[in-house]
Chains A and B, each alone.
Chain A
């Protein structure tokens, strides 16, 4: 187990390195010169000398490979550099927004799990009845509705009924938890619906699969209460693919936040990402992409380890 975990952790390095190379090259190919744009925006004198000075200041006068090595060394030593645009350290820029986006993402995940597990199970147990049909239509619709539009509809409904508009600034949870939750529950719902739909569908098909297994028949034959058969034997075994899908979708959830944050005027990672990409602020974009890639890779890792916890038959490490 430990050696397997270690091996998997090592395998992440080439993937992350690849992501780093890719984003580094992509950002250098961006049209437009950030230095020039920045100087123009600041209203300063734009001539060759000023441009060169600013480039030197930002470390952009060094050869490409040198910049890359600098960045890599920075990543390893947790020095992510400064935003090309604002000049503030990347960590400061990302910090509070990361907190906000993560909170919404975690709330959406919780919502999705709370919806998916009971609904998926019900749908499977009442297969081909109206309960099943209603749940299935609910979940297929969840895949079709764009999260940003759902967000707009939620705002519209709140506006017409309670005269609520998205606040300009969000209250941090440690200041006023109730207020914070009542503000963030709506974006969490908007992005969580699709998430719950994916998980519900997986839960349904997974339960249906498990119910065909011999051990379910054995459990029923030895007289275990049906409720226990479902809860202990079926649901526990059916969780495995659901966990996988929840883990995999978490990365896409962050992607979904990119658009939904615009709708709710949430100053999170997604909004920051759109802003920095359009500005060509590559130290920021690089850091954001790496952050998201690390989250994605780590979640995959945790999901793999959870396999062993939920299903002892999965022997980690022997498959190599």
Chain B
């Protein structure tokens, strides 16, 4: 008889999910780093920014990038770099809260639609179709125009609502299709047999199981919200002067100084693009990591 061979089996070390994500999705991790830098700059804008973003300085209007003003100044002598740093705060706050609102409302509607099915599902889906037939910016424009400005703590709540509404039908659709699968699971039947209320079944059994699509949609829509906020501010319907916002920096007077002050056009646009790029990169990787089948 052959001798017994000792089997050495090393239990694989369980990696922390964050570590796993960084190893498996280097591009996504790079995006995350950019996002964290922006969050840092936004939160500590007061300490990071070299100047007060609102401070007018008529002595140095339209001065080109120099050691004193790294990215130059605008038509009112305000420091462009400081305005971009403060603009990160505006972009992130509006992006985060509108995406949170839009994705959450969308997810709740999607789950309810899938769970109740039948006539309710049909009605909800038709309503979502109606919202989808509105082009995003048209809808946001109309909402901003109808609601006007309602500023709380430097944040325009109506702008957030306007940006969130067009997200709702899209999130609802994706979450609904994920929730439909969950609703067929035996444990949902079991929960029903056990006599749990509809609310409890949705909140405790379905919603936790659609977290992956929810998170994926949420990150993707932060990027879209930042873009939309920039567009609306550019049109003069979003964030109002003198608050520092990237879209606003591109609007109005900056377009009159193409030749004299190209930095006024290049820098804020780069900031928007970089922010959206980072969120897209992170969102894409998060999707590949959590659930590659979901289409945003």
- One digit per residue, 1 when the CB lies within 8 angstroms of any chain B CB and 0 when it does not, for chain A 4-23 equals 00000000001110110011
- One digit per residue, 1 when the CB lies within 8 angstroms of any chain B CB and 0 when it does not, for chain A 138-159 equals 0011011110110011011001
Does B126 sit at the interface, judged by CB under 8 A?
A: yes
B235 touches A258 (CB 8 A): yes
A153 touches B135 (CB 8 A): no
> Given A146-B227, A148-B234, A274-B141, A141 and B277 touching (CB < 8 A)?
yes
A273 touches B134 (CB 8 A): no
B273 touches A145 (CB 8 A): yes
B130 touches A22 (CB 8 A): yes
A143 touches B148 (CB 8 A): no
Does B18 sit at the interface, judged by CB under 8 A?
A: no
Complex Cα–Cα for A142 and B224 (A): 13
Segment 125-155 of B: residues with Cβ below 8 Å from A: 126-127, 129-130, 132-138, 141-143, 145-146, 148
B273 touches A144 (CB 8 A): yes
Segment 156-192 of A: residues with Cβ below 8 Å from B: 156, 159-160
B135 touches A254 (CB 8 A): yes
| Cβ contacts under 8 Å, A152 to chain B | 250, 255, 258, 265, 269
> Given A15-B129, A259-B235, A160 and B259 touching (CB < 8 A)?
yes
- Chain A to chain B contacts (Cβ below 8 Å), 18 pairs: A15-B133, A16-B133, A18-B127, A22-B134, A143-B277, A144-B276, A146-B231, A146-B272, A146-B273, A251-B133, A255-B136, A255-B138, A258-B137, A273-B138, A274-B141, A274-B237, A289-B138, A289-B142
**Residue in contact with B146 in the complex, picked from A26, A148, A254, A293, CB distance below 8 Å:** A26
| Cβ contacts under 8 Å, B250 to chain A | 148-149, 152
| Interface residues of chain A: helix, strand, loop or mixed (majority) | helix
Complex Cα–Cα for A19 and B255 (A): 35
**Residue in contact with B135 in the complex, picked from A30, A278, A296, CB distance below 8 Å:** A296
> Given A146-B227, A274-B141, A293-B134, A153 and B255 touching (CB < 8 A)?
no
Segment 265-320 of A: residues with Cβ below 8 Å from B: 273-274, 277-278, 280, 285, 288-289, 292-293, 296-297
**Residue in contact with A292 in the complex, picked from B135, B227, B230, CB distance below 8 Å:** B135
Does A122 sit at the interface, judged by CB under 8 A?
A: no
Complex Cα–Cα for A15 and B129 (A): 6
A141 touches B273 (CB 8 A): yes
Does B223 sit at the interface, judged by CB under 8 A?
A: yes
Complex Cα–Cα for A104 and B213 (A): 35
Does B70 sit at the interface, judged by CB under 8 A?
A: no
User: Considering residues B135, B142, B231, which has the most beta carbons from chain A within 10 angstroms of its beta carbon?
Assistant: B135
B142 touches A263 (CB 8 A): no
Place the interface of chain A in its size category: 35 or more
Which A residues are within 8 Å of any B CB, using their own CB?
A: 14-16, 18-19, 22-23, 26-27, 29-31, 140-141, 143-146, 148-149, 152-153, 155-156, 159-160, 251-252, 254-256, 258-259, 262-263, 273-274, 277-278, 280, 285, 288-289, 292-293, 296-297
A156 touches B277 (CB 8 A): no
| Cβ contacts under 8 Å, A252 to chain B | 135-136
How many residue-residue contacts, CB under 8 A, span A and B?
130
A259 touches B137 (CB 8 A): yes
| Cβ contacts under 8 Å, B255 to chain A | 152, 263
Segment 235-261 of B: residues with Cβ below 8 Å from A: 235, 237, 247, 250, 255, 258-259
> Given A156-B262, A263-B255, A15 and B130 touching (CB < 8 A)?
yes
Complex Cα–Cα for A152 and B264 (A): 11
Q: What's the least CB distance linking A257 to chain B, in Å?
A: 9
Place the interface of chain B in its size category: 35 or more
B269 touches A262 (CB 8 A): no
Q: What's the least CB distance linking B252 to chain A, in Å?
A: 11
| Cβ contacts under 8 Å, B280 to chain A | 140, 143-144
Does B225 sit at the interface, judged by CB under 8 A?
A: no
**Residue in contact with B126 in the complex, picked from A18, A22, A273, A293, CB distance below 8 Å:** A18
> Given A23-B142, A152-B250, A143 and B258 touching (CB < 8 A)?
no
B281 touches A140 (CB 8 A): yes
A159 touches B259 (CB 8 A): yes
Select from chain A the residue with minimum beta-carbon distance to B148. A31
Complex Cα–Cα for A145 and B250 (A): 13
B148 touches A148 (CB 8 A): no
> Given A140-B277, A273-B138, A259 and B231 touching (CB < 8 A)?
yes
B273 touches A19 (CB 8 A): no
Complex Cα–Cα for A251 and B129 (A): 13
| Cβ contacts under 8 Å, B135 to chain A | 251-252, 254-255, 258, 292, 296
**Residue in contact with A296 in the complex, picked from B133, B141, B223, B268, CB distance below 8 Å:** B133
Complex Cα–Cα for A149 and B275 (A): 14
Since A14-B126, A278-B237, A293-B134 are in contact, a sample of 5 more A-B pairs with Cβ atoms closer than 8 Å, ordered by chain A residue number, is A16-B133, A30-B145, A148-B231, A259-B137, A274-B235
